[in-house]
């Protein structure tokens, strides 16, 4: 069939090797798939102005941009976070928005557990010593046994619970805070707690929360000041949950013994103060496996087809 701008969809600021998955799914529905890249709304708009649908990987789709899309009817976000899209503005301009609230849950939970175990056991410290030619375990102070350590899990959605299950065999006690769940039956040594209880007694604190106005900077200077066990902080959720300058200050003054972060507040910008031996950084990769990447690309493309056909998405962005 002849291609036209009216039947073109764009995959924006992607990092995939190719768009074969998107093209296979969308071509069968009669759409041409193109890629578009732009560091600013202005440069991006030049490519996507006439697009009927968008798969938004990494792009800020604000009202100034959205209001100038002449034909767009749907935006599919292949991820849990959709804060880069002004959803309300999209709907004011007749554009539906979908997201993927669940994918790669096991991958993210496993990555978080791996980070927690590696940091707690001081594997990076031992690695640096041995690769420098020093075979001496006494160069690294002994750790507190996980058997007598307390884990604090903040947020008990799918990923939070999967993380808890991976860590359960290792730790002595698990404290859980979730603003929605008021009852908990996860077996022995796991109990609901307040944030204050977690701050006061946890040796490891792991975040598993969405980023909202209420959770932004939930770990700030005041929160760090209430942490009494010099805990290790794990974040495989959203970078904005942590106030970065406050985290750096807490690490510098010894309030924390370390941090393991797969997400940053201003990624891909990495604050210089995070370049420390007691911080483990990975580049927002916790979600990624061959299977999970294929899953999100398939599901987000199918959602776009669904919305362009006038059907409601399976996962409508709130």
Instruction: List beta partners, residue 61.
Output: 85
Kindly state the DSSP code that residue 47 receives in the 8-state scheme: H
Residue in the block written with tokens 């941009």: 65
Question: Strand (E) positions, the chain?
Answer: 8-12, 32-36, 53-56, 74-76, 96-98, 150-154, 173-177, 190-192, 204-207, 232-235, 258-261, 279-281
Percentage of the chain lying above the pLDDT 90 cut: 84
pLDDT of residue 188: 85
Q: Which of 238, 257, 297, 299 is catalytic?
A: 238
pLDDT digit string (tens) for the chain, length 318 residues: 334 455 999 999 998 999 999 999 999 999 999 999 998 878 899 899 999 999 999 888 999 999 999 999 999 999 887 888 999 999 999 999 999 988 888 999 999 999 999 999 999 999 999 999 999 999 999 999 999 999 999 999 999 999 999 999 999 999 999 988 877 788 889 999 999 999 999 999 999 998 889 999 999 999 999 999 999 999 999 999 999 999 999 999 999 999 999 999 998 899 999 999 999 999 999 989 999 999 999 999 999 999 999 999 999 999
What CA–CA distance (Å, rounded) separates 233 from 229?
Answer: 11
Run of H or E including 118: helix 105-120
- Each residue's pLDDT tens digit, 144-193: 999 999 999 999 999 999 999 999 999 999 999 998 887 778 888 999 99
295 Cβ neighbours under 8 A, 6+ residues apart:
103, 104
Nearest CA among 95, 94, 59 for reference residue 79? 59
Fold classification of 5-103+289-308 (topology level): Rossmann fold (3.40.50)
Q: pTM of the entire structure?
A: 0.83
Question: Do the domains 105-281 and 5-103+289-308 match in fold?
Answer: yes
* Annotated catalytic residue 196: no
What CA–CA distance (Å, rounded) separates 14 from 183?
Answer: 41
* Annotated catalytic residue 77: no
Superfamily of domain 105-281: NAD(P)-binding Rossmann-like Domain (3.40.50.720)
Q: Which of 173, 197, 267, 293 is catalytic?
A: 267
The pair of structure tokens assigned to 41 is: 């709304």
* Annotated catalytic residue 316: no
Domain boundaries, the chain: 5-103+289-308, 105-281
Q: Which of 93, 128, 216, 284 is catalytic?
A: 284
Considering just the CA atoms, what is the radius of gyration of the chain in Å?
Answer: 22
């Amino acid at each position: 069939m002849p291609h036209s701008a009216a039947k073109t969809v764009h995959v924006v600021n992607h990092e995939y090797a190719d768009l074969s998955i998107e093209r296979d799914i969308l071509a069968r529905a009669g759409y041409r798939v193109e890629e578009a890249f732009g560091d600013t709304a202005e440069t991006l708009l030049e490519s996507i102005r006439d697009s009927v649908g968008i798969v938004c990987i990494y792009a800020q789709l604000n009202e100034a941009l959205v209001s100038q899309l002449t034909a767009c009817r749907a935006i599919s976000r292949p991820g849990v976070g959709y804060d880069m899209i002004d959803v309300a503005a999209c709907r004011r301009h007749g554009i539906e928005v979908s997201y993927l609230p669940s994918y790669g849950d096991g991958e993210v939970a496993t990555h978080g557990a791996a980070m927690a175990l590696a940091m707690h056991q001081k594997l990076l410290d031992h690695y640096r010593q041995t690769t420098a030619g020093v075979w001496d375990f006494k160069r690294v102070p002994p750790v507190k046994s996980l058997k007598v350590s307390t884990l604090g899990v903040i947020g008990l959605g799918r990923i939070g619970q999967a993380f808890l299950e991976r860590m359960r065999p290792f730790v002595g006690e698990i404290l859980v805070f979730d603003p929605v769940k008021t009852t908990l039956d996860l077996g022995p040594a796991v109990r609901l707690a307040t944030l204050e209880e977690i701050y006061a007694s946890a040796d490891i604190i792991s975040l598993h929360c969405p980023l909202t106005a209420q959770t932004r900077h939930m770990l700030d200077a005041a929160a760090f000041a209430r942490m009494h066990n010099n805990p290790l902080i794990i974040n495989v959720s959203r970078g904005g949950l942590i106030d970065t300058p406050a985290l750096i200050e807490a690490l510098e003054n010894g309030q924390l013994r370390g941090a393991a972060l797969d997400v940053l507040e201003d990624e891909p910008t990495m604050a210089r103060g995070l370049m420390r031996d007691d911080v483990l950084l990975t580049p927002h990769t916790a979600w990624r496996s061959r299977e999970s990447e294929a899953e999100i690309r398939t599901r987000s493309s199918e959602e776009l087809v669904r919305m362009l056909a006038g059907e409601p998405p399976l996962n409508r962005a709130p």
